[in-house]
Amino acid sequence: MFLGSQEGGIAKNIKVIEWLKADLITSLSVLFKSMLKGSEELLIDALSSLIVTCYILGRRLNINFARLDLKIEAKIRQGIDDDHEVERWYGDLSSLLNYLVEKKR
């Protein structure tokens, strides 16, 4: 009986992962359409949907939220160290890193 429920759980997890992948594509499409419309509220909604879906997809792939946060912060720091264009031109990565560090306090 345990094996059957375990197999059902695996199938359900695979189905959810596929649904989340499709949701990422849908949210990206909504973001692009929102950029054409120029509505800030639509942009915020689409971006937040993408972020939430990425976190949930990570969890379904057995990556906990804290580990994902650490990797995000490491990528931001790497972009700063590598003098990424958005950092060099606008300071966006430093601003994001400062925001995330302040948010932890």
> Would you say the C-alpha torsion 67, 68, 73, 74 has a positive or negative sign?
positive
Confidence at residue 74, expressed as pLDDT on a 0 to 100 scale: 98
16-55: per-residue pLDDT in tens? Answer: 999 999 999 999 999 999 999 989 999 999 999 999 999 9
pTM (predicted TM-score): 0.86
Specify the higher pLDDT residue, 5 or 62.
Answer: 62
Q: Confidence class of residue 2 from pLDDT cuts 50, 70 and 90?
A: low
| Residue 91 φ/ψ region, left for φ over 0, alpha for ψ in the -120 to 50 degree band, beta for the rest | left
> Would you say the C-alpha torsion 63, 65, 66, 68 has a positive or negative sign?
positive
Q: Confidence class of residue 8 from pLDDT cuts 50, 70 and 90?
A: confident
Confidence at residue 1, expressed as pLDDT on a 0 to 100 scale: 47
Task: Please give the Cα distance from 2 to 20 (Å, whole number).
Answer: 27
